[in-house]
């Protein structure tokens, strides 16, 4: 079994794959003050509840955008699972090429998304990942990562708005009944929902003008579901794209 970990700024998503089938998917908060023992306690409980055989885990791949938490996960992997983890970076065997001037700048989550997209959509892809930040990444038919864009994330923007303004409350991101809000809450929801869709669609639109191929436009990430359905360009929501990419990397590096 492959044990893959996507460490994000807000949440950490863990997947267990067997024969390329995602058996379990867990999401926990990214708490930077946890120790390796805290992590072990959480993971042991999840494995036990899920009736998985820990001894069947043969490979660990970690994609992290939180460097300060890497050591704890490394020690957890070595001390509790008896395996040396592979931390995904631009030099890791992944099946794709990163065709940017500074490949080391590309985050592990973006590399994992590109790996999975290149595998599932051979005609080329634009991946829109809606997490703490919104990223747009382009993979051409030659399985090359050619670049993309980074935007402020939805929840980060909502929290910043609430923090910086005295009278605007925090709110949940829900699709509003109409664009013109008649209350403060409706106005906030409309601005966030349609505003981010508009920003994403415009960026996709401008990116398409610069491409010589017709990409499949997909989305992933915790907040992608509802927004994807309202987008003019997003064709498919692929929830587990990042985990799938990490699993592919696990297979490639285990075989090596």
Query: What is the Cα–Cα distance from 222 to 232, expressed in whole angstroms?
Result: 19
Active site residue 37: no
Residues 216, 124 contacting (CB under 8 angstroms)? yes
Catalytic residue among 109, 129, 137, 201: 109
Instruction: Work out whether the CA dihedral 78, 84, 89, 91 comes out positive or negative.
Output: positive
Angstrom distance (rounded) from CA 159 to CA 24: 31
Q: Which residues of 90-129 are buried (b: 16+ CB within 10 A; e: fewer)?
A: bebebebbbeeeeeeebbbbbbbbbbbbbbbbeebbbbbb
Residue found by looking up tokens 């993309």 in the block: 148
Which residues have a catalytic role annotated? 109
């Amino acid at each position: 079994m492959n044990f893959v970990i996507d460490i994000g700024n807000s949440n950490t998503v863990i997947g267990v794959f067997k024969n390329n089938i995602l058996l379990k998917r867990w999401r926990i908060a990214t708490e930077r003050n946890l120790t390796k023992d805290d992590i072990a306690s959480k993971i042991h409980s999840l494995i036990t509840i899920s009736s998985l055989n820990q001894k069947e885990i043969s490979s660990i791949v970690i994609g992290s955008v939180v460097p300060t938490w890497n050591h704890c996960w490394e020690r957890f992997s070595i001390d509790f699972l008896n395996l040396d983890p592979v931390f995904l970076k631009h030099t890791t065997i992944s099946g794709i090429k990163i065709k940017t001037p500074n490949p080391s700048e590309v985050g592990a989550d973006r590399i994992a998304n590109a790996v999975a997209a290149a595998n599932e959509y051979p005609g080329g892809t634009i991946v829109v990942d809606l997490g703490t930040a919104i990223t747009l990444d382009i993979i051409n038919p030659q399985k090359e990562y050619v670049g993309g864009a980074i935007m402020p994330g939805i929840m980060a923007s909502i929290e910043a708005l609430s923090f910086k303004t005295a009278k605007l409350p925090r709110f949940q991101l829900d699709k509003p009944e109409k664009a013109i809000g008649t209350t403060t809450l409706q106005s906030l929801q409309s601005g966030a929902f349609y505003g981010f869709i508009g920003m994403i669609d415009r960026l996709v639109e401008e990116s398409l003008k610069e491409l010589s191929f017709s990409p499949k436009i997909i989305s992933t990430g915790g907040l992608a579901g509802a927004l994807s359905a309202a987008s003019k360009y997003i064709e498919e929501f692929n929830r587990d794209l990042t985990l799938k990419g990490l699993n592919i990397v696990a297979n490639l590096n285990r075989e090596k």
